[in-house]
Structure 1
Amino acid sequence: MSGPKKLKRTVQSYSAKAVSAFLAGTMVLGGAGAAFADNTPTGTGAAAATPNQSAVTASGIFSDVKAGFWAEKHIYKLAGQGIVVGNNGLFRPGDSVTQQEAVLMALRFMKLQGNVNTNTDVALPNDFLVTNYYKPYVILAFQHGLLDKSTEMAADNLKTSWGERKASREWVAELLIRALGKNAGGSSGPTSFADDAKISANKRGYVNTAVELGLANGLTGNRFDPQGAVTRAQLATFFSRAEAHNTLEYDNTFKGSVSALKDGKLALYTNGGTLDFTLNANTAYFTSASENRITLNEIQPYTKVTVIGATYNAAYVELTDPTLQVEQAEGVFTKLSPGVVWVDSANGYDQYPYDAATTFLDVNGAVIQPSSITAGSKITILRETFSGSRKVVKIQVSSGIVNKTAKGTVQTIDTAAKSITFKNEDGTAESFKWEEGTTLFSSQNAIIQPAELKTGAAVSYTIKDNVIRSVEVTSGVERIVKGFIYELTDSTIVYQKSDGSREVKLLATKPAIVIPNNVSPVMSDLIADKTGGDNVQLTLNSSDQVTKIEVLSRQIEQYVAATVVDYNAKTQYLTFTDSSGKAHVVKLDEKTKMAYGGMLTTSLTTMGARLSENRKVDVTSIKERALSVELSTKYTGVLTEVNTNARNIVMKLSNGQSVTLPYPQAVDMFGKSSPAITDVPLNVPVTAVLASNQEIISVLRVSGTAQFEIATVDANLNKMTVKLDNGSKSSELNLVSVPLTNEAGQKAALSELKSGDFVNLVFEGSSPISLQSVKQYAGQVSALDAAAGTLTVKDYSGTSQNIAAGSGVRIVRDGVTSNALSSLSTADRVLVRKDASGVAIISVLSQQSRTFSRYESATNQVVTKRASLSENYQFSLAPNAYIHQGDTTLSVQSLKENDNIILYFNNDKIVEIVKQ
């Protein structure tokens, strides 16, 4: 059985006449110079439609046509075909189209532009004004009935330059229907539009036909706006849709079936042969059933597509029929000979030829070699139906014995069923079971239990007789182990497991420490002991390093601010009373951690001299053995009470103990000058730093996290000013050694922040400890579900963000705050962020309806007309402000005097202008 023939590539060149026209031309629907096809390519079969080397491609075509733009599909399509072009990388979709430009585009659509004679002088009536470059094309349009002479040259139609006049919607409707060669005479009755009376009588039939064919739609309020100017994006959309009603074959356009899709290449079977197209990051993928982009993953082999692209580089791929064009057969595999699979059948043996492009899969969909199929296995054979040769494209084992070694990732683990689902390197999921005692699970050359495998871990696995024989973690993800801390150093931790065995693990850089009732634990707060260490859960990264240590329980006793009763230097016993007056006795030894005044000591004599009666100490012990004894220097906890009569405060410490202390001598509090103890809110974290006599609080530092708006940023000096008290005050922050991260926890630079942004600040007293930028979403509310507490915001780049507002949401409109998400509407423009506690704050942008006057480029201000002298009429334009009419993006320079506009403001700057 012979395969499809490979098509020979040919390249079409342009004639000198066409090149001359290209160089001489002015901007035609997107720039000075469209390359016009001069002749039909030569060749037979598919080769007769070889892509044009000189035509404009759509790869990275226009920087002002963003992903998601409403006409993106049609602009990409027509640009790939050379029907529309751009200028300096811009398409300017919102610009109006002149009648002469629309005529040239219609001629390209009809494939008549090559028939124009540009070598002879062209004469038109003196009062029928057309730019010289367009004259031969306009005459060609009259010759082919694209334009009606009696209508276009009527006296009342010649008051202004005919060629440079903006093409109206009703005029383009007629041009479009004439370009299709259709008769609109039978549809000349009234239209269904609310402004039908404004449609010219001689255009009504064309409008009706355009609507019936799905080429043109109405506008908001069921209006057609017949005299409205057609934009470049709209005209591209009209002609793109019209191709469905045309029988012409367009340049660089190929229709067929995907015969292969691999390694950035798409093989297209068309006209009895195969064309190979290169796919790249700029290739646009769409479906004929939708205006929205799709991904390459949504296009499958053996489906029908249209590919547009010059020199075999696919600029545009459109899925026209997702139905797989294949047929299926089943049988029992018997043997394999070179290039042939033998299948047992009732009439003997059926032979299925295969080649290097045929895919062989096991029962789980993993790619295998043909030789690995065992005799007697049931197989399914898939053959394509589009080429006529019924080529075998895939053979899959439907039941049989699996023996292989493969690589992939762990998808799921079922320890009860003793089953693992792997995702192999080809992306196919396959499940196998293991048998106790016959399977080896390993990681980093260490034996592990199946339960220690983590979803997402990269593994190499061996299957024999359909059973898992080994699983080796080659690049793991986080996994969890448990035990109690046996030994602890600066770089390693030894933990003892429940079975009595011990393992040592390296510590990652700055592992996270979690200890219940400890606000900011550090490594030194962990207890390592051969019999009474902390019971912990360790999180290990893919390199088997400890990234997190979480204390689950501890056998130790902790006493904060205990009172010394006696220390016996001879027996080394310390007697003290806790906060409730209960007495305790512990023994110190050379392993006890000892500290005073912030200094460590190893001398029992030195420490003992300081353990005099009534001194305050912090003691950690296991039974009667002292793990640490430190003279109390500070209390860390939460402020629970301020007694103004007794002039004392009550703190609840991290271990749950409450202590009563006299008023502090000073209070250190962020954002407040000379604060008093009565300025400190209750139930906030504080640190009481003790004086040397341990009786007086020298300073009470208030800790916490709060969100602030940035007033100024000086990245060179590592300084920032944030607004306090709703902007009435400010505070300068020195951020030289303060870590800065973004919302995802990644390291960020101070230069990335600007005035108006928000940050979450963690502080201790007046000192910043860390800073985190806050992500904000600005745009229009496009969807709202108040019951579910969700909304969708379409930002000014056209990207939609789904936001879970959750409980406690705050909506701020005109200075008034509410908690009702239902108070929003899909017409609102909003700025969304989450405060330091995670509550969504939705600020509704203010708006004003104005009449445009002019744009002052020197000051970057929009000037509007005012109704009174007291009315503000000058407004600053924010960088990257979104200016548009409907879905069409505009430049501020395109706005005209007396245009009705709506302005939306953020921080007194225009962020959006809507032209009415």
Structure 2
Amino acid sequence: MKQRIHRIIAWTLVLLMAFGGTYAFAATGASSGNADSAVKIIFPDTVNHWSQRYVAKLAALGIVNGLGDGTYGAQINVKQQEIIAMAVRLMGAEEEADKLSNMGTSLQVSDWARKYVLYALQEGILDPSEELKNNGHINWGERTAKREWVAKVIIRALGKDQEAKESADRAASFKDNHDISADALGYVNVAVDLGIITGTSSNEFLPLQSIDRAQTAAIFARAEQYLPQSEAVIKGALTAITADTLRVRDESGQVHMISLGNSTAYYRFDADKQILKSDLAVGQQVYVVLRDHLAVYVEVISDREPTESIFGQFERVDTAARIIKIKIDGQEVEFELDENVAVIDVDGRGSSLSQLIPLSEIELKKSTLSSRIIEIVVKDKPISKRSSGTISNINPEEITILDEETNRLETYPLVEQVIVTHEGKSLTLDDLVISDEIAYRVLNGFVTEITVTAKYVEPVKGTFEGFNEKKTTIFVRNEEGARGYDLAEDVAVHIEGMVYATTNDIFSGDILMLTFDGNGLVRSIKVENRNVEHLQMLELVSVDENLEFIVVKVDKAPRLLYLTEDTILEAYGLEYPVSELSKYITEKQRIDVVLSGEYVQRIKRSEGYTGKVKDYNPAARKIVISNPAIGDLSLNLSPYAFVQIINQSSTTLSDVKIGDEVRVVLSPEDLLVTQIQVKRTLKHTIETINATNRMITALDENNNKRYLSLNSSLAIHHPSKPYATIHDLSAGQIVTVTYYGSSAESINILDYKFGTVEHADRLYQNLTVQTHDGQILIIDTSKNFELTRGAQKIEISALNPGDRISIAQDHEGYTLAQVVLRQMKIINQVESIGEISFVNQMGEVEKMQLAPDVIVRAGNSKISLNDLKKNDRVYVYVVNGVIYEIDKL
């Protein structure tokens, strides 16, 4: 398509015909001797009218002109032939239309409009079959144009007929969508998508309403950007402003010196009225219309030059050569700097090239017009701090530290002459080993000082020989001989198969692995040469008079088990030496034992068993429980048997159901069931922890206070550790606690996952969730499942696909699910080491932790954390104080 012809006389003649009346001619620069006064783009009736900018743009381009009385006629309705003439001129096809002026058309139009209508018919802008319906050809040109018809004409003029056809089945977003003709709907949709046509403030399109000259100017001015650019138009970045010139660099890199006149009109994309020339600023994107090499219309179309972002680590800058070098994925890359490059610091304030610090994470904004860097944004400076932690890895170039404050691995480069000391003595890097505890200083991202606070001690393996009298020192023997090691106050003992082992469970001859804390004290003891076996309901056949062994029946066969002086006797919840055995257990009674090999660690009279109810008849006083270790146990109920269920004060025997997991408590004399303790798992919030007394207070869901004693029968289960201790718990932590009756059996630490609801199947009671790391979880919601939104419990049927959800599961599969509601925040800045800060309306700054694989989105597109800017508004999804997802608004 050819460029439109910009001849002033030709424009005005055409415009005279196009709007049928007496119009003012625009004088040429030659006739007036002053090109600055030759073009009128602002009219008396548009000075305070919303359409001023649109009319001025089209007048500058020669698409419209004023009426004979000097006004524009903003509220005068436009005829169909006038719309077609404007569309053809907007397309720059006037010269081609001139060739068709001697041809005829069945549509009744004014003589001056015939060539435009013929061209429109030839190019498919008008469809004869549509226009000729119901004698539509009669007086066709003089009819006022309707809004939906104008949408059809302009979209076809832009060459987007196919897009309109593809959008014809999509309902428009307007309240009066039903009033839009079927053959116009697709065109209206595309016009709205392109931002060419908008609805009313009440969200109505008014498809059959006549369109006036002001509305037409707005539509055609918005549509102009989708057509080839006129030779009279210059678009680009504003690089300099003087009293009478603008310097503009276009997308090809060519620089244009543009003259300004007294009547040059200035506009902004977000304002209807004129602005001052002083409102222009270097770096803005401008749209300039020229007449006789003079700017008549200047519009700021963007406050920023179009750029692409490049992220990397700052290396150095050559200010003389205007070159910056950064490292991207380990490779050094250089870029040319614009002479007016801006530097923005992490706090959003202006900075300079000389203040850039090596190793800073930066964003370079490269102009897509000049390919030069026009802005440098410092996203993250190398930090400077003092902290402490444990060495995780070290080499001559860098060190990785598990930081005590952040509980994260942090890696830093080392300065060439790093200062290393221990207890006042100088060391070298070679003296440092993994697991050394250190205090360290970071200066501009480099570790400059390291002070060893506790040297790492190699683990010791040996054979247990005993403790000192106070049990504060343990003695082991290996090839280097026997040696004693002092114990830490909270030393942990690990024995495979034992729920909660203590130093009392370590026997002579055990092979031990001792590990040490930073002060050289034993912090954990692992017994490596034995597994623990639990046997229940064994018949005690006989006891050796010297208490060296006992004989029991296992699967109806006798078995010899050895006693030692370290064997512990349990009776009524208390511990006694094995020498007291005859006081509490007699032959023919049933016993439970804990074995290591053939040696008895613990022994007690059988008092109760856990298992799943396999059969149950309260009337017949019978219960059968299935225990994985000892099989099915058929037991009789005592006449006084009762049921105990946590948080249920009133119970009957009928409260027990087949399939329930229970613990049955037996009478000492006749082994009848006196209690049935039903297993329940409850959610608790830890309130306080007393590590010395091994006591925990917690609140259940009803705000009842629970006191939990970490004795040998109360286990702590961690989702990712084989052993867990009291130190894995913290105040405020949510856990599940498993009870048999009113007795706590275990504290279960939860494994949290964040994801999106894919499907909630109410029929099969399954919930499908895609976690933020891409896993698919299918959760059985029929049992041991709790779902909440805020403080309210809800059913899975209340969930919708796309809902964010937090899934917390304990080691037995008990699941706590919570709908994660989004929170609106205002960005302060992305902090270092996995944190982000926000600012509230009071100006207060709040820091929050980021998940290691936090998802950041803008609309449907994933973006980088570095794309977030100060004062950006975002939605965040937070689980236990950690942000898993950020949606930029």
TM-score if structure 2 supplies the norm length? 0.39
Which structure's residues are more often strand, by fraction?
A: 2
TM-score if structure 1 supplies the norm length? 0.38
